[in-house]
Chains A and B, each alone.
Chain A
Amino acid sequence: MSDPNQGNQQAPGGGFIGKLRAPWRSMLDESPRAVRAFWVGSIIILLLLAFADLFVHHHAHFGIDGTPGFYSLYGLGACIVMVIVSKFVVGLVLKRRDTYYDD
């Protein structure tokens, strides 16, 4: 059983993989097989979907949206940009303790 208070903290292992694993630690403790199956299955589906574009004809309206893999890369890229903007630009300026208005 994991300590509920530690679930959100950094993995002791460090490094990129360690950081990626940290949020999963609680679930890994419970059922490592389910987590592994989730990841393996997801990656297979992601790749299949991206390569499906080679066989699916997209009716392109702007040109760029007809490029194979466009939706995959655009979805990934847009999300990364949005998270970075919100966490490190907006968040940096506007984030306060959640007792801000109570004080």
Chain B
Amino acid sequence: MIEFPPGLILVLGALLLPFASGVVRSALALLLPLATLVAVWLVPDNAHVTVPFMGDMEMTILQWNPPTRVFATIFALMAFGGALFSLNQNRRVELPAAFVYAGSAICVTFAGDMLSLFIFWEMMAVGSTIVVWSGNTEASGRAGLRYAAVHFVGGAVLMAGILAHVFALKAGGVENPIELGYYAFGPGGFDALSFGGVGDIAPWLILIGILINAATPPFGSWLADAYPEASESGTVFLSAFTTKTSVYVLMLLFAGTELLIYAGLMMAVYGIVYAILENDMRRILAYSIVNQVGFMVCGIGIGTEMALNGAAAHAFAHIIYKALLLMSAGSVLYMTGKRKCTDLGGLYHTMPITMWCGIIGALAISAFPWTSGFVSKSMISQAAADNHLFLAWMILTAASAGVFLHAGIKFPWFVFFQKDSGLRPPDPPWNMKAAMIFFAGLCILIGVFYEPLYAILPFPAAAGEVLYQPYTVSHVVSQLQLLLWSGLAFFLLLPVLKRTLTITLDFDWLWRSFFPWLWRNLLRPLVTVLGWIRDVFFIEIKRLAAAFTGEEKTSGKGSIFREWSLGSAMVLLTFTLFIFLVVGFMH
């Protein structure tokens, strides 16, 4: 039986990877995720492992929470698929960093208290930043820095929220204030998110800290900024863990928080609008992550068992087909070195496997019947309908149509068809093909045999009952109508959808463009002027006065007023403090 967090297999195993090479390294890369997957399933149902923390408190590092099984399973599976896809690349740090990242994500799903959850949450930020940097380009270096800055600010906000709540709970006489149960704000709805009394800031800070990682606008521009700058294989890993871990944590803490319905709907629409305008194929897919996570966040906001099951199932399905789409795009990038739709097209001639796998991923993300997206996403829409949320249902349905438009057709069409770019690259190396075929198979397998997935959802069906029946004639016909007619819209609007060599400004404009501008044109001149004023008042006037009174020659007096360098001032200050300390101890 496993009595430790299974994610640690990946985290610690990652430290061995840099020392291995050749076959040993490949074997380790494939076996570590599989061992983790097995370990996840061997954790006993009543597992509860704690480690002492700061004397009187305990951190629970291993326990089952309702959504743990579905998320931990898919994270381990994803680490395996990603490792297979990246087997032929020779970047030394990328895969170990990705394993630390994936392993920490699995540890988050088993965390039983806020503090251990936070520690693994931050480890994910470190691992993923290194994955971005492994892109080994100047752009990835800068994007990684921005990525790290956003995530560590997000982490600080989350920590501030946790601390605020810990103090509030301590004041209320709670013994173990880091226990996860005290942080489930969800059922309180808007009441939990009020500004009524002391400690009410805590849920807000925690929510914002998580939403930053979930890529919710206006905090979400880091995703489309950083992910597409990573390497072909790096982006595949990145797409899976950060946002979905946030979905997991939101599900634990904020299930049923009405605000999340609107946040999710906004994400779904935002992702589509930006993806329609985008030219870089991997940025199209990055924006569509935001769109898909929007469906999950909306489901969490609805908060019924059906909605939460739908959100969890959708996270599971999404990780597979999104990774598949990014593998397809990554293969194209790997073989052609090009990433803009304007440079691509007509690749169906020589990359059939990449194309078909890309198309299967595209069908799955669009929730075509008999693909994984259909059996998961329809539960969220159904939950919205069951709760008579008319606006939410209308927007979710429109967004489902939009998914087919912006990712389902747009990505394969502009990369593999449309104009002939003249490029004739072959399909990628065997391991990349194998990873794609494996995930494409899963997309269809889950779409057809969905019961095993439904069985591990947070709220499984009672014995003898059916959790949800996705395949009714009405469902299939309405979904096909919705998708194929939006396909018609795509082809009717093709002349308008012409690719252009443009990007679309997002919130990261604030710190990439506006703040530097503010510094150059406002703050720096201001500081310069203040510097002049200081010079005039404190140096020039003194010198002038000295010249008039003839003091400057009497050097003995002048040295008392000589400006001290910062260094000697620090030495004196430290020494004084040291004396105080010694004197204090002697008493």
Contact B484 A42 (CB under 8 A): yes
Q: How far is the CB of B198 from chain A (nearest CB, A)?
A: 41
* B-contacting residues, A71-87, CB 8 Å: 71-76, 78-80, 82-87
0 or 1 for each of A1-44: is its CB under 8 Å from B? (1 = yes): 11010111010000000011011011100100000000000100
* B-contacting residues, A34-62, CB 8 Å: 42, 45-46, 49-50, 52-53, 56-59, 61-62
* A-contacting residues, B246-274, CB 8 Å: 269, 272-274
CB of B541 within 8 A of chain A? no
Query: Interface segment, B188-196, B453-461, B489-497?
Result: B489-497
Complexed CA–CA distance, A17 and B496 (Å): 14
Contact A56 B493 (CB under 8 A): no
Contact A58 B276 (CB under 8 A): no
CB of B388 within 8 A of chain A? yes
Contact B418 A23 (CB under 8 A): yes
Interface of A is mostly: helix
Q: How far is the CB of B271 from chain A (nearest CB, A)?
A: 11
**Chain A residues near B474 (CB, 8 Å)?**
56-59
Contact A90 B277 (CB under 8 A): yes
Q: How far is the CB of A14 from chain B (nearest CB, A)?
A: 11
0 or 1 for each of A59-70: is its CB under 8 Å from B? (1 = yes): 101100100011
Q: How far is the CB of A32 from chain B (nearest CB, A)?
A: 14
CB < 8 Å A-B pair total: 179
Nearest A residue (CB) for B275: A86
CB of B48 within 8 A of chain A? no
* Residue of B485, B495, B500 touching A20 (CB-CB under 8 A): B495
0 or 1 for each of B3-35: is its CB under 8 Å from A? (1 = yes): 000000000000000000000000000000000
Complexed CA–CA distance, A6 and B418 (Å): 12
**Chain A residues near B496 (CB, 8 Å)?**
83-84, 87
Complexed CA–CA distance, A72 and B512 (Å): 42
**Chain B residues near A46 (CB, 8 Å)?**
484-485, 488
Interface core residue of A4, A42, A79 (most chain B CB under 10 Å): A79
Contact B473 A56 (CB under 8 A): yes
Q: How far is the CB of B366 from chain A (nearest CB, A)?
A: 11
Contact B273 A85 (CB under 8 A): yes
CB of B50 within 8 A of chain A? no
Nearest B residue (CB) for A56: B477
Contact B401 A75 (CB under 8 A): yes
With A75-B482, A96-B502 as contacts: A26 and B273 at CB distance below 8 Å? no
CB of B571 within 8 A of chain A? no
**Chain B residues near A100 (CB, 8 Å)?**
503, 505, 513
With A26-B346, A80-B493 as contacts: A4 and B421 at CB distance below 8 Å? yes
Complexed CA–CA distance, A95 and B459 (Å): 44
CB of B419 within 8 A of chain A? yes
Chain B positions near chain A (C-beta within 8 angstroms): 269, 272-274, 276-277, 279-280, 340, 342, 345-346, 385-386, 388, 390, 393, 397-398, 401-402, 405, 417-422, 473-474, 477-506, 512-513
24 pairs of residues in contact across A and B, judged by CB atoms under 8 Å: A7-B420, A20-B494, A23-B494, A23-B495, A26-B345, A26-B346, A45-B484, A46-B484, A61-B386, A61-B393, A71-B478, A72-B482, A73-B485, A74-B397, A75-B401, A75-B483, A83-B489, A90-B274, A90-B277, A90-B504, A95-B500, A96-B502, A98-B280, A101-B512
